[in-house]
Amino acid sequence: MKPVDTIDEMLIADVVLEEWEVLRCRRLKFSLIRVHQLEVLEQFLRKKLDYDLYAEDFTEDLAEILEDNLPKDQADAAQQLANACARNDSVAVDKVNEALARIQLDMSDILYRAQVRKAKELAQKYVRREPDAVTLVDEIVADASVSIDDLMTKALAQRLDNIERIDRLISIAESRRNTSLREIDRRRAVLGETLRRSVKEVEDAEFQVVGSTPTRGKSAA
């Protein structure tokens, strides 16, 4: 910026601080929206996931529990027993229920935890726009006769007050920054124009960083 005196330095510092506040609030807004979109998507998937999609997670969890709690001479068979139980083999289901009852666990709790974990994993992959996850989630959403836009709108509606408060903070910070820029314009028009270009470059770069986050480098626009 090449300030020529202390006043220039103070005005430039004001613009930098106020622009940083604008960017910080915008990132906060973006993060808040993403968090609640993810929560809504997870809740939806948790209710709609078919057993086949989290059967492997359930089997792994069950095998680990059985290995830790079956008698030593049966521990090696834990994986086979878990596999048979996951396939709904009646003999295996009875054996597993007996083993779980001894440690005061219920098979439905293990199923639920596996379902929740799978829903969370799938939602996160969808937000990152991983192709397989996008295809699967879109199919699940379509089968439920809703749209992904409906779910995202619901997420925003639940936190609209918070988003509006952040928008007000952004407006205040932008107003202060613009006031400082006008003060600089009155002192040195060339410095003011240079600062405005720098602000625009910073905001363009910020948009690319924030916008590319869900797609790992691909433009969200």
Q: What is the largest CA-CA distance in the chain?
A: 87
> What's the CA gap between 156 and 202, in Å, rounded?
27
Report the pLDDT value the prediction gives residue 208, as an integer from 0 to 100: 59
Distance of CA 77 to the CA centre of its chain: 39
Residues in the chain predicted with pLDDT less than 50, given as ranges, are 210-221
Report the pLDDT value the prediction gives residue 128, as an integer from 0 to 100: 87
Report the pLDDT value the prediction gives residue 123, as an integer from 0 to 100: 92
> What's the CA gap between 84 and 198, in Å, rounded?
64
Report the pLDDT value the prediction gives residue 116, as an integer from 0 to 100: 94
Contact (Cβ atoms closer than 8 angstroms) between residue 76 and residue 116: no
Report the pLDDT value the prediction gives residue 39, as an integer from 0 to 100: 87
Report the pLDDT value the prediction gives residue 127, as an integer from 0 to 100: 85
> What's the CA gap between 128 and 130, in Å, rounded?
6
Report the pLDDT value the prediction gives residue 216, as an integer from 0 to 100: 43
Report the pLDDT value the prediction gives residue 75, as an integer from 0 to 100: 63
Report the pLDDT value the prediction gives residue 70, as an integer from 0 to 100: 77
